[in-house]
Copies of this chain bind each other. A is one copy, B any other.
Amino acid sequence: MKKHNFYAGPSILPEFTKGKTAEAVTNFAGTGLSVMEVSHRSKEFVAVMSEAQALIKELLQVPDGYSVLFLQGGASTQFLMVPYNLMGKKSAYLNTGSWASKAIKEAKLFGDVVEVASSKDANFNYIPKDYVVPADADYFHITSNNTIYGTELLSDPDVGIPLVADMSSDILSRPIDVAKYNLIYAGAQKNLGPSGATVVIVKDEALGKVDRPIPTMLNYKTHIDKESMFNTPATLPIFACLQTLRWLKENGGVEAMEKTNIEKAALLYNELDRNKLFVPTVTDPNDRSRMNVTFVMAPEYTELEKDFLDFATAKGMVGIKGHRSVGGFRASIYNAMPAESVKALVEAMQDFEKNK
């Protein structure tokens, strides 16, 4: 039976990425060796790294003066690297969920953190709108997509100071204005590749302005100077990211992705707004994530939750159980998710409703 992979991350990847990676695990770039056992300094792998960095610059139209890095440690490590490198005395954060809260916690080790607004009062089911960002903060940190709560900031805010964003779960899903950002980071395991690689896009001139000593591996300058090869990078995950980047370019880039992502999300949200059994957890359409669609059973049908999970599982849906902080269901529909799988889920919801 065909599986429909709705995992929140690690998550669905293009067939192209999987096929090319399986090939390279056996024979990489005609070397006769596995991509897992070739030096990161071989000309074959250096070409992978360069092309991956160049494609990110091209696809996101990264302006001059920015560096693209492939690091390790996930977004969680960026939570501390960002203030270590960019925060003098003060920074500002928007609290839109668990990951934003974790980023705030780390920043507090380094100075004065202003939480300009929070949607914690409503279990993070909306994006705060009315807030004031202090003009003397070094940056304003946002979590553009909130994987757990299903909300998304669908445009780059204008706040008068440089932005820093955790884009782990929506990077490359739509065009962004990189010039507004001092730094963007993303764990690869949603829209890019397998876990183990972390993309950082950083404005070079934003660095070198803090006084604290920075351990070598936590210093972005280390990795910029050595083109992400100061130490051994995660070669296989980066190889897989490159395949996804090639697939993205071949399929129209982030503009085409955005169009498809809007259509896929509409399919699901329209059904959620129509189907009497289900309720989306995010009510304001402007805040609804195109990547992670979260929903619960309507109050009068809560006892059917387990039934629907079993029903959908029997139809090949994988990974739709909601995060424990929200409950219910979560359908993660990243770039690589085909519309057919979204339609299959919608049909399952309709069939389930008919049978009740």
- B-binding residues in A (CB < 8 A): 1, 3, 5, 7-13, 17-18, 21-22, 25-26, 31-40, 42, 72-77, 79-80, 102, 105-106, 109, 187, 189, 193-197, 213, 215-218, 230-237, 240, 318-319
B21 contacts A25, C-beta separation under 8 Å: yes
Q: Is the CB of A240 within 8 A of B36?
A: yes
Shortest CB–CB separation between residue A12 and chain B, in angstroms? 5
Q: A10-B232, A187-B231, A234-B234 are in contact. List 7 more A-B contacts (CB 8 A).
A: A21-B34, A80-B217, A80-B218, A102-B216, A194-B234, A194-B235, A195-B232
Judged by DSSP, the binding face of A is: loop
Separation of A21 and B240 alpha carbons in the complex (Å)? 14
Assembly CA distance A193 to B12 (angstroms) = 24
Is the beta-carbon distance between B72 and A234 smaller than 8 angstroms?
yes
Q: How far is the CB of A147 from chain B (nearest CB, A)?
A: 11
A78 to chain B, nearest CB (A): 9
Residues of chain B with a CB closer than 8 A to A213's CB: 109
Report if A33-B318 is in contact (Cβ < 8 Å); known contacts: A18-B26, A215-B80.
yes
- The answer to whether A236 touches B237, judged by C-beta atoms less than 8 angstroms apart, is yes
Task: Chain B residues near A77: list those with CB within 8 A.
Answer: 72-73, 217, 231
Q: Are A236 and B196 in contact (CB under 8 A)?
A: yes
User: From A11, which residue of chain B is reached at the shortest CB distance?
Assistant: B37
Chain B residue nearest in CB terms to A17 = B36
- When distances are taken between beta carbons in the complex, the residues of chain B under 8 Å from A231 are 74-77, 187
Residues of chain B contacted by A18 (CB below 8 angstroms): 25-26, 34, 36-37
Closest 7 CB pairs of A and B: A196-B234, A36-B194, A80-B215, A76-B231, A72-B72, A196-B196, A22-B25
Alpha-carbon distance A136/B26, docked complex (angstroms)? 51
In the bound complex, CA of A7 to CA of B3 (Å): 39
Cross-chain contact of A196 among B25, B72, B79, B106 (Cβ < 8 A): B72
By beta carbon, the residue of chain B nearest A214 is B109
Contact B10 A37 (CB under 8 A): yes
Considering only CB atoms, which chain B residue lies closest to A1 in the complex? B32
What residue of chain B has the Cβ atom nearest to residue A196's Cβ? B234
Q: Write 16 A-B pairs (CB below 8 A) sorted by A numbering.
A: A1-B32, A5-B37, A7-B42, A9-B39, A10-B37, A10-B39, A21-B25, A22-B26, A31-B318, A72-B196, A72-B234, A73-B73, A76-B230, A80-B215, A80-B216, A196-B196
A20's nearest neighbour on chain B, judged by CB, is B25
Chain B nearest CB: distance from A25 CB in Å?
4
Contact of A13 among B37, B102, B109, B230 (CB under 8 A): B37
A232 and B74 form a contact (CB under 8 A): yes
Cα–Cα, bound, A294→B31 (Å): 24
Of all chain B residues, the one with the shortest Cβ separation from A187 is: B232
